[in-house]
Structure 1
Amino acid sequence: MPDEREIKRILVVTAHPDDVDFGAAGTVATWTDAGIEVVYAIVTSGDAGEAFPDTPRSEVGQLREAEQIAAAKCVGVTDVRFLHWPDGRLTPSLELRRDISRVIRQVRPDRILIPTAELDLERIYGSHPDHRAVGEAAIAAVYPDARNPWAHPELLEAEGLEAWTVPETWVMSAKHANQAVDITDVFDRKVAALQAHASQTGGREGMENMLRSWGTAVAQKQGLGENRIAEAFQVVDTR
């Protein structure tokens, strides 16, 4: 795996606004605190999600994009890109693989963070079909698409985007997590990021305690000890 000191730029790819904040906002805060540039690529604008009752459906996507931009700032991220695919209708198509490959070639990251493509019936909310579709398309974009100059040739021929190999892939909500990140010292920023998604979390009572409970359980499972809070990932060598 690349030495942590070699990591200069990280790309995060998720299906919806707020996905990264539930799964990895604390970890992202530790990265930006270390001087690493982090870029978000959000495949949909969350336009099929629940929102404030008085928000017209036509304005939900714009609202959720604004919430994600505000949440990103809480953890030190200022480059947030929306791919504007239809919320709730994602499949791991060649077109989605191409669009994620495009962002990979634009950003040229040393590490990428993506959702898992696994269906986990014990954690059904984390296994939203859009999450799994983006996970499958994103790992296909990492290998083989983005590194292959003959895959999606229009990216090179029409857009001038050279092939790029992502050396390391981190997977959120994976059953076989092998990397824990201690987020105890930045937990308040994870909470703030999620509170920025007011249309999704504004009416949720006890959210901070819920997040703390989840993070404490992860820390204990990963051997970080008591009174610590963590997020965990499956790290895959994709050099």
Structure 2
Amino acid sequence: MLPESEITRVLVVTAHPDDADFGAAGSVALFADKGVEVTYLLVTDGDAGGNDRSLDHSGMAELRRAEQAAAAKCVGVTDLRSLGRADGTVVPSLDLRRDIARVIRQVRPELVITHHPERNYEFIAPSHPDHRAVGGATLDAVYPDARNPYAFPELVEEEGLEAWTVREVWLMGGPTRNHWVDITPVVDRKLAALQSHASQVGHIEGFAEIVRDRFAAWARQAGFPDGHYAEGFQVVNTT
């Protein structure tokens, strides 16, 4: 794995507001506390989220952008970017690959965190079609697009964005995890970030206990002591 001492910039690419917080907010908080620069790139603004129709799509998008900004603040992230795609319609197109490759070249991260592109049959929630599409497009943007100076030449010729090689990718929500992060010191900040998404989780009775139970179970799976919490990822070496 990439040594932590060599990680100075992290890009988290997700489909919707709250995805980063469910999958990686604890790890993000730990990175931010060490001075690592973390950027969130959201492919959609979550305009089709929520559990009622009191807001139209634009109103929901505005609300969820505000919720994500509040959640990001809980874990030390201030650089938030959005591609503004329509929630529920994302496909791993060339246009999406180009737009993600653009941000990779702008941010120049050593590590990218994104969705697993495969369906998880053990736990279906992370396998939203948008998640899988974003995960696949992000992996393609990492390899080969962002590092290939001949891919999307307009990024160099018109925007001055030279090729960049991401050294490692962590995949969230997949069926195979091979890296566990002990998030015990920051679990309360992860929970605060998640609770910032009131439009998505405010109606769930006992939400805090559900979150703690889930990530405590992952800590046990990882072999951490009782009373610990963990996030799990599949690590992809891209070099």
| TM-score, normalised by the number of residues in structure 1 | 0.97
CA deviation string 1:45-81 (max 9, x = no partner): 0001115643333311111111101100000000000
Give the letter for the 2:9 counterpart.
R
Match of 1:13 in 2: 13
Kept in 2, the 8 Å contact 1:167–1:237? The answer is yes
Match of 1:55 in 2: 55
Find out whether 1:118 has 2:156 as its counterpart.
no
Kept in 1, the 8 Å contact 2:50–2:199? The answer is yes
Give the letter for the 1:30 counterpart.
L
CA deviation string 1:1-31 (max 9, x = no partner): 3321111110000000000101111111111
Question: C-alpha separation between the residues in 1 aligned to 2:72 and 2:206?
Answer: 22
Q: Aligned-pair distance for 1:122?
A: 2.4
Q: Aligned-pair distance for 1:125?
A: 1.5
Match of 1:46 in 2: 46
Kept in 2, the 8 Å contact 1:12–1:114? The answer is yes
Give the letter for the 1:89 counterpart.
T
* RMSD, aligned α-carbons: 1.1
Q: Aligned-pair distance for 1:196?
A: 0.7
Kept in 2, the 8 Å contact 1:168–1:235? The answer is yes
Match of 1:234 in 2: 234
Structure 2 residues not aligned, in runs of 5+: none
Question: C-alpha separation between the residues in 2 aligned to 1:58 and 1:122?
Answer: 34
Kept in 1, the 8 Å contact 2:71–2:196? The answer is yes
Match of 1:190 in 2: 190
Question: C-alpha separation between the residues in 2 aligned to 1:200 and 1:229?
Answer: 22
Match of 1:166 in 2: 166
Superposed, 1:101-180 pairs within 5 Å as 101-180=101-180
Find out whether 1:74 has 2:68 as its counterpart.
no
CA deviation string 1:138-193 (max 9, x = no partner): 00000000000111111111111000000011111122211111111111101100
SS of match in other structure, 2:25: helix
SS of match in other structure, 1:105: helix
SS of match in other structure, 2:225: coil
Moved more, 162-171 or 216-225: 216-225
Kept in 1, the 8 Å contact 2:126–2:174? The answer is no
SS of match in other structure, 2:191: helix
Give the letter for the 1:222 counterpart.
A
Structure 1 residues not aligned, in runs of 5+: none
Match of 2:87 in 1: 87
| TM-score, normalised by the number of residues in structure 2 | 0.97
